[in-house]
Amino acid sequence: MKAIPNMKQRFVLLFSVLFSTMLSAQSPAVFNVDVAHPGADISPSMWGIFFEDINMGADGGLYSELVKNRSFEFNKPLMGWKEVKKDPASGSILIENRQEKNAANPRFAHVTSHAPKGEYGLVNEGFRGMGLKKDLIYDFSVWTGTTTGNLVLHAELLNAAGEVIGAASLVPVVSNGWNKQTVSLQCRETEPKGSLRIWFAGNGSTDVDMISLFPTDTWKNRPGGLRGDLVQLLADMKPGFMRFPGGCIVEGHDLSVRYQWKKTIGPVEERTAIINRWNYEFAHRPTPDYYQSFGLGFFEYFQMCEDMGAEPLPILNCGMACQFNTSEVVPLDQLDPYVQDALDLIEFANGDATTAGGKLRAQLGHPAPFGMELLGVGNEQWGEQYVERFEVFQKAIKSKYPEIRLVSSAGPGSEGEQFRYLSKAMAGLGADIVDEHYYQKPEWFLQNAGRYDAYDRNGPKIFAGEYAAQSDRVVSMENKNNWRCALAEAAFMTGLERNADLVRLASYAPLMAHVDGWQWKPDMIWMDNLRSFGTPNYYVQKMYSTNRGDRILPVTYKNTPATGQDSLYASAAFDKTTNEAIVKIVNASGKQQPAEIMLAGAGKLNAAAKITLLQSNNLELENSLDQPMRLAPVEQTATVKAGKLSTVLAPYSFAVFRIKLK
């Protein structure tokens, strides 16, 4: 016997009949994809990542060293360290400087102990604490120099309450020279805000330097390596390229603290630590303990690119310091060392073993070339000083390495006088690729999806090198990584893909931020000492980079490209490896919209299509450390019949459809 529906059930039934009648009455948005006439190729490195040591991105982030100020090189040499002693007479510390002997790493600590029971020690607070994991082995190391007496050094992992959760000891070698000593410790508890304590027991003295603690679960288990969870998030994106090391950090506040790649390779104890420009850049976000150890240097960078299959895109200083700061420039007749740095980097990355650079790379453990093809000259430079300097680099590099494609600056903005001047000048110089930056409101991204549709095809190619929708305004502390911003970026990116003949590279910026140590918001990935998560912006980037395709497919909506008519945006690509048409559609309105994707000239199609969907009705939605997947893509399927995929575009949604050709 059939059950008679109650009032509530009848209401639901009536409502759903009415609703589906309304929907079917609404005429579908029709997207015509011309599979028979693929357009230009899409660069294999189209969707990449931009890395800069900002927001504790490297030290305190990707570089998994847990000890802050390990070599006492901060302006305040004991910043990050605290002496612990039960009795004033139990020991002392003296910072010494051997500048004349070791200019790269001048300072070390001379520790004297009169504490037979181990009552003189030092505690390192880490980068906003140390993330320690239960059962994990940690590698402790220290360089000890001149040592007298009978000292024992105890290393202890502490939890936030100061209790010992791991310990090991070593006896410093009695010597007159420097030796690296290591010991491993196992941690008994998981602690996000731990610290390291070292005790000196016995009577005597020793010189100590490079006091270091690393987890062993680094990326690919490399000793002294990178934080595995963070590299994994990047590798999951299958990035086409990795821009490094920035950003303004390339330029430096002044030239003395510019990024110099040669000082970032070789043994870590020989890499000169310097102050990070983001230490003091923003009065509203001072970070006095932010320095660059360069433990994540150029060799590690190239290695990471190789691990992820990403093309390296280094950016070098062009003889100009940050123009928002000092605007220092190197006189044109003294630019040679800067140009030489660029030539040497190419040789280091690509040279064979007969070249000095190739030999050095082999000595560092990588005999095979890294295959670098792209190089950026200057970051956000502008004005004629830049044009003059870029020209010098261009001549020198192109005459020796014509195959290297150079990325040049379009300045910090994407419109206005400076931008127009530089765009014209770069076109005049026959520049290969120009780097455009847009930190704009979400509305700008929605309104500019057609930005490149009518761009000059005879000028330089475009690198959308830094972009992020700002929910408030640039450098505001209120900016959010919310769905509103991510959706606007997704819409804008349809325009990048549609114009992939011109736009060859694109990357969101900045990449990473530590929840307790950031200077700049929004950022694609957030972390604390143990956890990390991708923002909605991360998932948008990932949906593009893992659904790239090789050729542009023309898509029209009402006979023109979909650049926001009816709040709809679309682009498409063909993936020759999988033989699939990949269609990306953004519905930026709060209304559900029936839609049809018509695939012309595709021949027979598989009936089952895959959909990856990122959607929320709540534009303010953000992910967090506690809810890392609040907004994340979901996989769905759709049916294709007679060359047509019928679907319903959810409100505020970004969908990627993969439709297989038979």
**Residue 632 Cβ vs ligand AHR, minimum distance, rounded to whole Å:** 24
**Residue 378 Cβ vs ligand AHR, minimum distance, rounded to whole Å:** 10
Which residue number has the CB closest to ligand AHR? 247
- Rounded CA-CA distance 93/511 in Å is 39
**Binding of residue 38 to ligand AHR (CB under 6 A):** no
What count of residues does the chain have?
662
Shorter beta-carbon distance to ligand AHR: residue 478 or 635? 478
DSSP SS3 for 573: strand
DSSP SS3 for 519: coil
Active site residues: 380
**Binding of residue 248 to ligand AHR (CB under 6 A):** yes
Shorter beta-carbon distance to ligand AHR: residue 436 or 466? 466
Shorter beta-carbon distance to ligand AHR: residue 121 or 510? 510
Shorter beta-carbon distance to ligand AHR: residue 259 or 657? 259
Shorter beta-carbon distance to ligand AHR: residue 125 or 523? 523
**Residue 376 Cβ vs ligand AHR, minimum distance, rounded to whole Å:** 11
**Binding of residue 652 to ligand AHR (CB under 6 A):** no
**Residue 474 Cβ vs ligand AHR, minimum distance, rounded to whole Å:** 8
Q: Please count the residues of this chain forming the interface with ligand AHR, following the rule CB under 6 A.
A: 12
Nearest to 529 by CA among 60, 59, 54: 60
Nearest to 48 by CA among 544, 436, 632, 483: 544
The 50-69 site mask, x for binding ligand AHR (CB under 6 A), equals --x-x---------------
- Choose which of 69, 90, 317, 379 interacts with ligand AHR (CB under 6 A): 379
- Rounded CA-CA distance 494/461 in Å is 17
Q: Looking only at residues 493 through 522 of this chain, which bind ligand AHR when binding is defined by CB under 6 A?
A: 509-510, 520
- Rounded CA-CA distance 173/285 in Å is 43
**Residue 247 Cβ vs ligand AHR, minimum distance, rounded to whole Å:** 3
- Choose which of 380, 436, 497, 575 interacts with ligand AHR (CB under 6 A): 380
Shorter beta-carbon distance to ligand AHR: residue 195 or 409? 409
The region of 105-113, 243-251, 388-396, 550-558 touching ligand AHR under the rule CB under 6 A is: 243-251
Helices 356-363 + 336-350 axis angle, to 10: 60
Number of Cβ within a 10 Å radius of residue 244: 31
Q: Which helix (H) or strand (E) covers residue 92, if one does?
A: strand 91-97
The region of 159-167, 209-217, 220-228, 246-254 touching ligand AHR under the rule CB under 6 A is: 246-254
Shorter beta-carbon distance to ligand AHR: residue 511 or 611? 511
- Rounded CA-CA distance 580/661 in Å is 6
The token duo for 280 is: 């003091």
**Binding of residue 412 to ligand AHR (CB under 6 A):** yes
If you ran DSSP here, which 8-state letter would residue 250 be given?
G
Task: Work out the angle at residue 300's Cα, subtended by the Cα atoms of residues 295 and 306, and round it to the nearest 5 degrees.
Answer: 165
The token duo for 128 is: 């906003």
Task: Work out the angle at residue 77's Cα, subtended by the Cα atoms of residues 71 and 78, and round it to the nearest 5 degrees.
Answer: 95
**Residue 249 Cβ vs ligand AHR, minimum distance, rounded to whole Å:** 6
On whether the CB atoms of residues 536 and 615 are closer than 8 A, the answer is no
Whether the link from the prior residue into 247 is cis, omega within 30° of 0, is: yes
- Rounded CA-CA distance 179/193 in Å is 30
**Residue 516 Cβ vs ligand AHR, minimum distance, rounded to whole Å:** 19
Give the interface with ligand AHR as residue ranges (CB under 6 A): 52, 54, 246-248, 379-380, 412, 466, 509-510, 520
